[in-house]
Amino acid sequence: GEDVEQSLFLSVREGDSSVINCTYTDSSSTYLYWYKQEPGAGLQLLTYIFSNMDMKQDQRLTVLLNKKDKHLSLRIADTQTGDSAIYFCAESISDDSGYSTLTFGKGTMLLVSP
């Protein structure tokens, strides 16, 4: 099956930038996603990028995509304690019938200290 790999843990100080990295394997993925999960809750869509884009910026969030290396990153500027959560990278995969599902990485736990 396809794999999405992420580092498991990142610790930063409040006000610093955070960069969470992800590698994926399916070169035919058309969309790549970043989700945030707070303790005991479901996943919240943060942002996504189409595979023909290199970069997408949305307020404090910047997504960079290197399609050649199949590498995706999420940069959070001016990280706040409220950003502490688990961040999941996901790629869209189409099955034999053409239906799309998402394959997720194991998640990166971001801890922001004051």
Partner 1 sequence: DGGITQSPKYLFRKEGQNVTLSCEQNLNHDAMYWYRQDPGQGLRLIYYSQIVNDFQKGDIAEGYSVSREKKESFPLTVTSAQKNPTAFYLCASSNLGLKNSPLHFGNGTRLTVT
66 makes contact with partner 1 (CB under 8 A) = no
Q: What is the CA radius of gyration of the chain?
A: 14
In 3D space, the residue among 70, 55, 68, 60 whose CA is nearest the CA of residue 21 turns out to be: 70
Nearer to partner 1 (CB atom), residue 5 or residue 14: 5
| Total chain residues near partner 1 (CB under 8 A) | 27
In 3D space, the residue among 72, 37, 38 whose CA is nearest the CA of residue 56 turns out to be: 72
Nearer to partner 1 (CB atom), residue 71 or residue 106: 106
CA angle 37, 13, 7 (to 5 degrees): 50
Select the residue interacting with partner 1 from 40, 52, 69, 82 (CB under 8 A): 40
For binding to partner 1 (CB under 8 A), which residues are involved? 1, 4, 8, 30-31, 33, 35, 40-45, 48, 88, 92, 95, 97, 99-107
